[in-house]
Structure 1
């Protein structure tokens, strides 16, 4: 049953370009479907999560991560009485703006674009679905509903202070009310993101041999999960032991979000999605205890995975690739594909930098490596 504070597709604030409704799909279902069919969504299969795409077939990519986030989000949304399709749409699109090489690529582009309006992957996701996807006859982008765009822009909370340039430009045309919190559905997508990466980074780190099960058994939530599995299945093979333990960690996070969020929603007495936006604080959250415990897990992963020498070595290479591609395309726009080259020539220096940033941000890991190799060999 739909809760009174759930987003209602029948009451959507609509699309920037008006369209007749679909005969068979809600407005949010239509958004989800357009995202799945977008070129940027397909490219996620070759964009890194932590490991570079070619390092192993079993590690998460941005695509598999996004699918996992959508699955978790739908589960939580259903229990809380929220709109599952809106949650899924935001979850599937939340990483569309990521560069090749994950946060390393983003950090490099943010530094390079600092004189030209900056770079932020959430803002870039909005730019992709409102401008860069150019397949439809009547509009640029995917012409998503206001609610889905709002969720992309501020699923992590209000966007205050120094608003990314590309987000400010779009919201000047289509006000996403950046100063408020997003819908409960978008908040669910944000927490589903946390749950998914907390779970799979542990699993991927174990698979990669960056740490052992013994190393993480000292962690809260994780240690008790392994202990329970060892009590129930004392002779379990190690790969099954890991999986059983970490799926229990997954369950602890989901159940905690459901308990805490149910209590907060009941206490808020909200009667509409707009009332959720105006509460001044998120209503979909971990409990204080589990949040504190997860901070310990993230600190472990930061020290033992994200700062691991093999990962750091990859990041040095990735940073170099992004910076040298940016410098080359800025210096000689003839190196860009013809479809980009003709448009870039007529732009101002700031517009040219943004176009180069858009082009690099849209690259997959392997395409960026291939492009960089081509530039290097041409010298």
Structure 2
């Protein structure tokens, strides 16, 4: 791989974007994401804790904004040194381009996640794998069935960016490649457990040719059919997410009383090492301010460590040899593992979180059962029952248009239903489920 190709501002196979000094193509990517409907919906999607009575608990939206902020810093810090090492890039690119690519990809990293956090992915997969959605297996091929039974939010995000009717975002190839932490399809012949990039998959069958075009244009290394190396900047997107996810979940857990103040201080102190000062900490008046200050300092420490590791491993990253998470190999990796352990024990398995997950396992399959049956009947030109006619009227016009245009293609029809359900906010999903099940009436 080489940086000239990796920083491609191309948007479609037919068109390359002209460079605008006042607003680069990568900054345009950021703006397009900010103003999109899928991004806006993140304000009402669960991060970890149920959507709060407490205004300081993070949603997917606040998490994504924070990840983007950290990502921009990582990108600019790394970009500054990359440009020094490769002076030929300076005529076309600046540190701001590196920062803008990572910021945009980081901003979008959760955009394909369904309601109810990561349990929503399992709920959608379970509907097809062991629920009433299993009836559709004979209508699709093996790879398409793998997409449905192992629903992946990363692949859904890539799909949203490349659908015609999502405000035509058409992001640059560099941003789309940096967004793709798992550049492979759902089934590959020789999955390597030692490659972080192959842990999950990053695009559905419906977008596999689109990804192939992006991979070829940015010069990603191809391993086998529809499996590639990561774009180097994807490591920074992942690091930004890891930093925010672990440290801010810990901060939220402490504020909610799930993790003790003393334990939280100990963990942050272990990250900061010699930079930690108990004397300075006690000069801060309130516990919440103390925890916020320690979190901010720890974010800075982890940014320093991730940048140093990336730059140290640049050649191995460019050659595709390096393929682990940056936060798994930095000096603070051991402390982050301790944070993960206590988060699993005290935060992710708390009663409120478990109640949210349980709700997701009822609501999402219930919605999918109703809407997939109505959509499949419509696509088969079967006379819809009165019930199904009512359900179809509840779907957005673009979903109905997709279904009608894909008659005879059951996979595309089912994916349109998933687009609809996975794109809902938590509250919309619960409200619609209650209404179609007769549990509540409109405005009740």
Task: Tell me the TM-score normalised to structure 1 length.
Answer: 0.84
Task: State whether structure 2 residue 320 is matched by structure 1 residue 279.
Answer: yes
**Is the partner of 1:332 in helix, strand or coil?**
helix
Shift of 1:200: 0.9
Size of the aligned set, in residue pairs, is 360
C-alpha separation in 1, matches of 2:410 and 2:185: 27
Task: State whether structure 2 residue 345 is matched by structure 1 residue 303.
Answer: yes
* 1:92 maps to which of 98, 102, 107: 107
Task: State whether structure 2 residue 157 is matched by structure 1 residue 125.
Answer: yes
* 1:159 maps to which of 169, 177, 184: 184
* 1:64 maps to which of 58, 62, 65: 62
C-alpha separation in 2, matches of 1:318 and 1:251: 35
Question: Larger Cα Rg: Structure 1 or Structure 2?
Answer: 2
* 2:431 maps to which of 355, 370, 376: 370
Matches within 5 A, 1:1-150: 5=3, 9=7, 11-18=8-15, 21=18, 23=20, 24-81=22-79, 83-114=98-129, 115=137, 116=145, 117-118=147-148, 119-131=151-163, 133-135=165-167, 141-150=168-177
CA displacement, residues 315-350 of structure 1 (integer Å, 9 cap, x when unaligned): 111221111111122233431325134543535443
| Residues 223/348 of structure 1: CA separation in 2 closer, same or farther (3 Å cut) | closer
Extract unaligned runs of 5+ from structure 1.
136-140, 271-275
C-alpha separation in 2, matches of 1:304 and 1:370: 29
Extract unaligned runs of 5+ from structure 2.
80-94, 130-136, 138-144, 189-200, 216-225, 376-388
- Other-structure match for 1:234: 282
Task: Tell me the TM-score normalised to structure 2 length.
Answer: 0.73
* 1:170 maps to which of 191, 207, 211: 207
**Is the partner of 2:174 in helix, strand or coil?**
helix
- Other-structure match for 1:201: 249
CA displacement, residues 256-314 of structure 1 (integer Å, 9 cap, x when unaligned): 1122222223xx2x8xxxxx443321488234442232112111101110011221122
Q: Is the 8 A contact 1:54 1:366 kept in 2?
A: no
- Other-structure match for 2:395: 337
* 351-360 vs 327-336, which moves further: 327-336
Task: State whether structure 2 residue 415 is matched by structure 1 residue 354.
Answer: yes
**Is the partner of 1:370 in helix, strand or coil?**
helix
Higher RCO, Cα 8 Å, sep 6+: 1
Q: Is the 8 A contact 2:45 2:426 kept in 1?
A: yes
Q: Is the 8 A contact 2:112 2:157 kept in 1?
A: yes
| Residues 22/226 of structure 1: CA separation in 2 closer, same or farther (3 Å cut) | closer
CA-based RMSD: 2.9
Shift of 1:229: 4.5
C-alpha separation in 2, matches of 1:43 and 1:205: 24
**Is the partner of 2:184 in helix, strand or coil?**
coil
| Residues 12/337 of structure 1: CA separation in 2 closer, same or farther (3 Å cut) | closer
Shift of 1:143: 1.7
CA displacement, residues 102-124 of structure 1 (integer Å, 9 cap, x when unaligned): 10111111222444432111110
Task: State whether structure 2 residue 238 is matched by structure 1 residue 190.
Answer: yes
